[in-house]
């Protein structure tokens, strides 16, 4: 017998064994818990299954946030629709110029709103930062994103799950009014919370 035939014969049982192992693995994957009606195996028993959060009651949340914001100057709640609503928070005194560190005035506003938001696991909170047009466009864009991220961190520390929070910034690109006056610039510096159903 040549060495070539020897290699062929010795490889044949190995191929059969590999096919048998593969078939048993596929069968195990296809039938969680062994398919015998017994208790599921450890992997399936401890698998994390994400259940859908309850659908939010937008009108109830709007009312709760309205009450929470009643003593906070300048906070505005948008109209409710099936996609949710937004909350606008002025930040003229919320951050120091050029900074993303939250000052007490903004902290108090966020602290007032956070409990109602934390109690609604079915609500996603998208935080949008906005600046006025003072300074360069790119610096303002970066600053608006940093400020939104600071708000996300603040809200997370107050019980809102991180998977419900996202941060973004518009810089000076989406003003509410003209930046030609100081009053206009104050109005344009803001944080928006866009509330929508969790995906």
Report phi then psi at 127, rounded to 5.
Answer: -95, 125
Q: Could you tell me if 153 and 74 lie in one domain?
A: yes
Mind listing the pLDDT tens digit for each residue in 45-84? 555 666 777 889 999 999 999 999 998 999 999 999 999 9
Mean pLDDT estimate for the chain: 85
Q: What's the pTM?
A: 0.74
**Higher-pLDDT residue of 186, 25:** 186
Distance CA 171, CA 139 (A): 8
Q: Could you tell me if 66 and 31 lie in one domain?
A: no
Query: Is residue 170's pLDDT more than 90?
Result: yes
Distance CA 184, CA 117 (A): 29
Mind listing the pLDDT tens digit for each residue in 34-53? 445 555 555 555 556 667 77
For the four alpha carbons of 155, 156, 162 and 164, in that order, the dihedral sign comes to negative
Residue 12 belongs to domain spanning? 3-45
Assess if residue 107 is contained within a domain.
yes
Q: Could you tell me if 80 and 178 lie in one domain?
A: yes
Report phi then psi at 37, rounded to 5.
Answer: 80, 5
Mind listing the pLDDT tens digit for each residue in 79-115? 999 999 999 999 988 999 899 999 999 999 999 999 9
Q: Could you tell me if 34 and 64 lie in one domain?
A: no
Q: What is the pLDDT of residue 92?
A: 87
Assess if residue 109 is contained within a domain.
yes
Listed in sequence order, the DSSP H helices in 31-163 are 42-45, 58-68, 104-118, 137-157
Provide CB contacts within 8 A for 192, sequence distance 6+: 86, 87, 88, 89, 127, 128, 130
């Amino acid at each position: 017998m040549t060495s070539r035939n020897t290699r062929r014969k010795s490889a044949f049982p190995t191929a059969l064994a590999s096919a048998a192992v593969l078939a048993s693995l596929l069968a195990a994957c296809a039938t969680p818990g062994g398919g015998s009606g017994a208790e599921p195996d450890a992997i399936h028993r401890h698998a994390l299954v994400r259940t859908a959060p309850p659908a939010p009651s937008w009108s109830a949340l709007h009312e709760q946030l309205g009450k929470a914001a009643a003593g906070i100057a300048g906070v505005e709640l948008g109209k409710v629709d099936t996609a949710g609503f937004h909350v606008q928070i002025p930040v003229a005194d919320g951050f120091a110029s050029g900074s993303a560190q939250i000052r007490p005035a903004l902290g108090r506003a966020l602290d007032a709103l956070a409990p109602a938001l934390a109690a609604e696991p079915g609500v996603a909170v998208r935080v949008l930062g906005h600046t006025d047009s003072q300074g360069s466009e790119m610096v303002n864009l970066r600053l608006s994103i940093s400020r939104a991220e600071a708000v996300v961190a603040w809200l997370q520390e107050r019980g809102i799950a991180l998977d419900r929070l996202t941060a973004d910034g518009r810089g000076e690109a989406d003003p509410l009014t003209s930046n030609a006056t100081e009053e206009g610039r104050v109005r344009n510096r803001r944080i928006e919370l866009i509330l929508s159903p969790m995906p």
